[in-house]
Each structure stands twice: as C-alpha cells, then as structure tokens.
Structure 1
Amino acid sequence: MIRVGVVGLGMMGLTHLNVYRSLPNVTIAAICDADADRLSGTVAAAGNVEGQAQASVATLPPEVRRCSDIADVIGADDIDMVDICLPTHLHVRFGKAVLTAGQHLMMEKPLARNAEDAAELAAAAETAKGLSFVGHCLRFWPGWSWLKEAVEDRRYGDVCSATFRRVVDHPKGAFYDNGDLCGGALLDLHVHDTDFVQHLFGMPKSVTSFGYTKLTGETDHVVTRYQYDTVPLVIAEGSWAMTDGFTFNMCYTINFENATVDFDLNREKCLRIFEKGKAPEFPVVESKMGYDYEIEYFLNCIEEGRKPEVVTMQDALNTIRIIDAEAKSVKSGNPVVI
C-alpha cells in the first residue's frame, strides 16, 4: 500500500484526493495546506471542468494527518509519495526537497515557472532514490490518448493539420492574478496543448506565437504555430481572457490524409470521426478524466519499480522550453527557434 501526502488543497489537490480515495493500492496518510480553512474543509476550491475538486477534506477519516507545515510531510516516515499541488513558483524548491528526502514525487503541471528551474528539477530527479512524475493529464485523457494511438499507427494516413483550442474565463485569486507567479494563461492553461503537441509530434523546430496581456501582466491569450518538417500545419490557441461566465472548453480538429477527427468537450458526442468512404462514427468516450488514469499509472510504476515513460521529467522540461520560446515569440513578434 502506497502512503501519499497531498500538499496544497486547491482545485487540483482536491481533484487528486478524489482519485486517491477511489484506488485500492494507495492510502492518504496526510494532507497539508497553510490555509486553516482549506485544511479543515470549511472552504473548498471549485473546478472549471465537471468532476474536478469533488473531494471534501471534511469527510476524510480521522487517521489522516492534517498539517499546516510542509516540513511535516516531506521526509516523514509514514509517507512514501508526496503529491505537490502548490503554485508553480514553489515547485522547484519543494520538488527538490521531496527528491532529496528519498520520497516519490507527484508534481502537478507545469513542472516549473521557467526552463531553468525545470532543468534543475529534472536533474535532481535523475539521481534521486524516488520516482518522479508530472501531471500532464491530457496524455491520459480519453479521446486524447485515442488520438495519440491514431497518429502513431497511421490508421488514417499522415497528419495534414492539427488544431487545438482551450478557452475559459479567468479563474481569479491571488496566484492567478499575478503573472510573475502563474505565468499567465500561456504557462498555466495553454501548457496542456503545448505538451500534447510535443507528445504527438516531438519537439518543434520553431514556434511563432501571437497574443496579448489582459489580466495578469503575462500572456493571457495566445495562438501558436509549431513548425515541423513532417506536419504542414500545427496550431494551438489558449485563453483565460474570456468574459466572466464563459464556460471552459477544450477541443481539437485533426485532418489526416483519409479522415477528419475532432473532439469537443462540451458536445454530447464529443469525439467524431469522418473517414473517407465510410459513414461518420461517434465512439463512446470514457467518462473518467485524465487525472484518474495518470495517478493510477504512476502508482503502478511505483509498485513495479519502473520509471514512468508516458510522461518523463525530460518531457516536462521540454514542454517548458517550448513555452518559454512561445513567450519570447509573443514579445518579439518573430519566430523563435528551439
């Protein structure tokens, strides 16, 4: 049985807790937050996707330790794995502390605030006793993991174009209001699609990005073209600059040689396949979210003593390298070679 301590009880901390409570090979040993109201369950964060942040810390059994100091979790004898769901700028400091203590590290995305910090964490993971994993959930998300398989086995031929879109209103709060801390929508939201583009096609040769600042002082709405020799057109748009009340949505459209497939989270039949010479298909997509599958995957890696391969620390570092290039392109108005 793997004993986990969850640090940070915001939207993602509560979402992860809910997953841990559903799995048979893990037990929640401790929860940690400096906010007493969050720690008691008096105040709870809300998610922007149906199914997020469903756990209530108020209903956790009494044997779960409640800590206001992260030092009571990192290095604790009764905790095998630490799940860091803290603000991004704290990842390098506390991620390295977990690795130094010899515990397994589950790190919520993005890996770090910039590529320099991400490289520091990735290097620490290489020599650490414990295993490390970064929660790039789209790699496990039903409908998206299917797309990865479709691209890899070339069931519809080569990819001619790939377009991704992720938009919502601003989540608000001290962290999300401060671009220096959160990195704007470019790093905190759009990073999902940047990572998935890398997952599908590898590292791009260059990026050309356009965007603007509206709320945080950093890029709050971005559109990027990723340059590849093998795919003519790859584009992703990400924004949290929409007017309050605008419902979260994520979608993609992939045009293959012999089919067009698209996914829209807010559509009843969210995955559609239009293959040449065949009637349209509307496969049933599993209702579980990527968080369920990514955590289950990492726990299995720990039990089997093998390094994660679906998401590696190098993958997570490379994603930040691409994001940094996108930020430079937005500011300069020019393509940036990676």
Structure 2
Amino acid sequence: MVGVMVIALTILIPGMPNMITYMKMGSVVPPGWSYNPSSWPQRWIMIVLAFFGWIVSRYLGTFQLGYTDFAADPFFGESTMKILNPNMSHSLPISDGAFGALAYTFEFLMGWMGSPSRWRTMPWMVTFFGILVIPLGLVHIFLVISQPIIVGEWCTFCLLAAAIMLPMIPLELDEVIAMGQHMVQAKKRGDNMWEVFWKGGKAFEKNTDDRTTELMEFPNKPVAVYKSSIWGMSVPWTLAVSTLLGIAVMFAPAVFGVEIQTMPSNIFHLSGSLIVVTSVICMGEVVRRGRYFNILLGLVLAVGPWVVDGSTLGLQITGLVVGLLVAGLSFPRGPKKEEYGLWDKYVK
C-alpha cells in the first residue's frame, strides 16, 4: 500500500512538469473517426478492470512473498499454491504475482491521466499505457495458459486475473491506433517527431465530441454511458461461438478422461485457450483481421489429436469437428459499426 501511494503521489498524479501547457486546443475526435477512443466513458472500464486485477494479483503476491501461508481456491483446492510455488517462480528475482500488482497499479493510475484528447496531446503516455496493457497483458495471459501444461494444475485466481486482463487489450488498442495515426500525420506534415511524442504537436483540425454521453450522467443514463464505453468493439456471432467452443475445448480432456500434461491434453488446453484469447481480442474492430489466426488453431485442433499418442476416439472426433468449425467461423468479418480514419482500410 505504501508503494502504491508513493507511485501515485510522486509520479502519476502530478504528471509531467508543465503538462497543462501542452493541452492545446484542437480536435477531440481523431480525424476521420466516428468516436473518441480517449473519452472518459472509454476509459472508465479500463480503470475498473485494472482495480480488480490489482486486488487479485495482490492476493497472489501475498502468498508468494510469504505474508500468508495459505492461498484459497474455491474450485481447484491446493492447486493455486502448487502453481504459485513452483521452482520456476523461485528462480525469478521477484514475485510474479506482486509484479502483476505493480503493473495493474500503473494501469489503474494511468487510466486517470490526461484529457479526453490524450491520444493527441500525450502520445508518450498512450504509448506506455499501451505497452502495459497489450504486450505485457499478452505475456501475463500466456503464462496463465501455460500452467496446466507446465505445472499440471489450474488456478482459479490466475484464470480470473487473465479474464480481467483479456478485454482490456481490445479496449486499449483503438486509442493506441488513434495516437499512431496522429504521429503518422504529423510526420507527413514535417513536424519534429520528438516534440510531437512528448508534447503532442499541433492539431490537424478543431472539432468537438457531441456523440459521447458524459460519464457524470451515468446515474441518469447508464445504458447510454455503457454504449459509449464499448464503441470500437462489436461481438459477431461467429466470434461469440468461437469463444464458447474454445472454452469447451479446454474442458474436453477431462470429459473424455485424458490425463493432464499428456500431448492430447496439451493440444486441447493450448488450442482452446488461444482460440478464446484470439476471439475476444478480435472483437475489437481495429484488429478484426486477427481472427484468421483461429484458422491455424482450428487446424491444429483438428489434426493434432490424430497424430499423437494417448488420444481417445472421442477426443479425436471432438477435435476434428470443433477445429473445422472454428476455422470456418474465422472467415466472416462480422459487423463494422465505427469509422477509423486512416486505419479503415485495415479493418477487413
């Protein structure tokens, strides 16, 4: 708690010196976009998710650091302690659970930073926030995915932490792309990139955000605020079904009595979890094209159980049917509800 307060009070709340002088008047909505990805409704979900992620990671970190001698798990018994206390964790110089709490601390506090036009006025902050959420988030999710394969156990709170992190990735991607579009346009104009990165540079146009429902109106207009929060994301039925199939695939080895940490079980656990991750991330329209990765995962799931030892006939048939179904569901793009300026041509 002391560490969190030190970070908040000395770095993130004061912000960069003279930051207010860099909040130049200009466009609130990125040129060519139909919404503002840095608006407060777009950010409040990130802030809430980061807070809950911080609570979960802090709980896991307290056990790894020895502040508690027991980590409860409502579904998998002592599996959580086995996962949090392997040789790999002891080989690291720091607790990965506590490091996750540190990352969520920055994510929570950085969600509050900047004006609703920070995609333009604070490219440096959007970049660092994007690094925390996207690549580090993917690493965190992959580590959770690998637990049944490497350790041979499941952990409820680890899965919860990954489930919290997963929707944050598509929710943040549009803001990063809006910032990147601003940098590209500034470069074409001949602006100094160093100055644009740290100070935002000059605006390309002046506009206002008349579409977003203000966050302060949440008590009176909760539905309108929620809709403003998820602009840029849509849920095609194809990706929704793929997500459900991925979850089912993760449980298939247990249903057919195949032991954990065998090759057939590993194929199902890894393929199923990656199908879920890919499907949820690609609900963000700016990265909808990434759904094609599910074609590869579906083919691995369809073919893999037939070429490794230890598979049952039921598992092989399940993998074939579900794998081909996931691959086929990856071809339709689904609806595109928003406009993304220069990035529109990549939404296919």
Band the TM-score falls in, shorter-chain normalisation: under 0.3
- Select the structure that is richer in helix: 2
Normalised to the residue count of structure 2, the TM-score between the two structures is 0.23
- Select the structure that is richer in strand: 1
Q: Which has the higher contact order (CA 8 A, sep 6+)?
A: 2
